[in-house]
């Protein structure tokens, strides 16, 4: 899964048209590099980020979704807003990726009657404040229990289990130690819950903490993290560096 951010700050010259053109060019580059899924996001959810209003998020992501939906790669939309989910479902996207695990009012109703995949991510708190001293008794158990409960709520609402993906939510209300405890427990989590797992750790602070590198120098560390996640049973890795990750996975799989 390649990350496609459609936020004004990810394009130097700003402006709606430039953002659309830039996003499509980036998507085309990822396609050439062998991406399977393009994850389109209109709101930065990095720690401390402010929320984006609904109409602004729709303005950012919908034109990109319509431009890319027949591109050959599967399309995922990274959103926690039910209205964005509704519009994305109408546009025919393949996955809704919700960092909030479909907890917003109306989120389940927005996706229930479609057949797209749904990624349920664990997050403690909210992006604006989530990195302020996250505490757990047993992080693996608490994240697993949360995901189990969300699976029960979604399937209880009539959603087929086969549509679901789980994600421990690296960096979302977790210390570096919590993140590594979770990655080491990926296989157990997948076995416990019986739902495939998506891992997103590309360029995150857990990579910087181990390598001592700033965000723009975390590619090699992120490749190590992606391989570790796949070795632990992750079936999708959400990454910035598609070409490098595809190569790393090809060699790892050939040697496996």
- Choose one: 60-68, 103-111, 148-156, 166-174; the region binding ligand 7PJ (CB under 6 A): 166-174
Specify whether the CB–CB gap between 33 and 243 falls below 8 A.
yes
| Range list of H helices, 69-104 | 82-91
Nearer Cβ to ligand 7PJ, position 15 or 132? 132
Nearer Cβ to ligand 7PJ, position 45 or 144? 45
Specify whether the CB–CB gap between 71 and 37 falls below 8 A.
no
Nearer Cβ to ligand 7PJ, position 46 or 250? 46
Considering only 60, 174, 178, 238, the residue that binds ligand 7PJ (CB under 6 A) is 238
- Choose one: 9-17, 81-89, 131-139, 196-204; the region binding ligand 7PJ (CB under 6 A): 196-204
Give the DSSP H or E segment for 220.
helix 219-231
236 binds ligand 7PJ (CB under 6 A): no
> Sheet holding 95-98: strands in order across?
2-5, 37-41, 74-78, 95-98, 117-121, 164-167
Residue partners of 141: CB distance under 8 A and separation at least 6: none
Considering only 19, 27, 60, 78, the residue that binds ligand 7PJ (CB under 6 A) is 78
The size of the interface with ligand 7PJ (CB under 6 A), counted in residues, is 14
Specify whether the CB–CB gap between 122 and 105 falls below 8 A.
no
Q: Is 204 a catalytic residue?
A: yes
Q: Which residue is nearest to ligand 7PJ (CB)?
A: 200
Nearer Cβ to ligand 7PJ, position 17 or 235? 235
99 binds ligand 7PJ (CB under 6 A): yes
26 binds ligand 7PJ (CB under 6 A): no
Shortest Å, Cβ 123 to ligand 7PJ: 9
CA atoms of 135 and 131, how far apart (whole Å) = 10
Residue partners of 152: CB distance under 8 A and separation at least 6: none
Specify whether the CB–CB gap between 170 and 198 falls below 8 A.
no
Q: Which residues bind ligand 7PJ (CB under 6 A)?
A: 45-46, 78, 97, 99, 119, 121, 167, 169-170, 198, 200, 204, 238
Residues known to be catalytic: 204, 238
């Amino acid at each position: 899964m390649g990350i496609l951010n459609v936020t004004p700050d990810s394009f130097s010259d700003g402006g709606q048209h430039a953002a659309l053109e830039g996003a499509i060019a980036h998507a085309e580059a990822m396609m050439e590099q062998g991406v399977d899924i393009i994850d389109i996001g209109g709101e930065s959810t990095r720690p401390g980020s402010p929320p984006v209003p609904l109409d602004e998020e729709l303005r950012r992501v919908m034109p990109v979704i319509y431009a890319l939906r027949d591109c050959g790669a599967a399309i995922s939309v990274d959103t926690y807003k039910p209205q964005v989910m509704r519009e994305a479902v109408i546009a025919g996207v393949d996955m809704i990726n919700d960092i909030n695990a479909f907890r917003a009012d109306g989120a389940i109703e927005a996706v229930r009657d479609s057949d797209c995949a749904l990624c349920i991510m664990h997050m403690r708190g909210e992006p604006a404040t989530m990195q302020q001293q996250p505490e757990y008794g047993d992080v693996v158990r608490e994240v697993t229990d949360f995901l189990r409960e969300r699976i029960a709520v979604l399937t209880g609402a009539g959603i087929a289990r086969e549509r679901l993906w789980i994600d421990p939510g690296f960096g979302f209300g977790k210390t570096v130690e919590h993140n590594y405890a979770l990655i080491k427990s990926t296989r157990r989590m997948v076995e416990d819950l019986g739902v495939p797992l998506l891992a997103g750790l590309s360029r995150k602070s857990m990579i910087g903490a181990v390598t001592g590198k700033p965000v723009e120098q975390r590619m090699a560390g992120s490749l190590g993290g992606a391989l570790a996640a796949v070795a632990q049973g992750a079936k999708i890795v959400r990454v910035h560096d598609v070409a490098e990750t595809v190569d790393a996975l090809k060699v790892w799989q050939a040697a496996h």
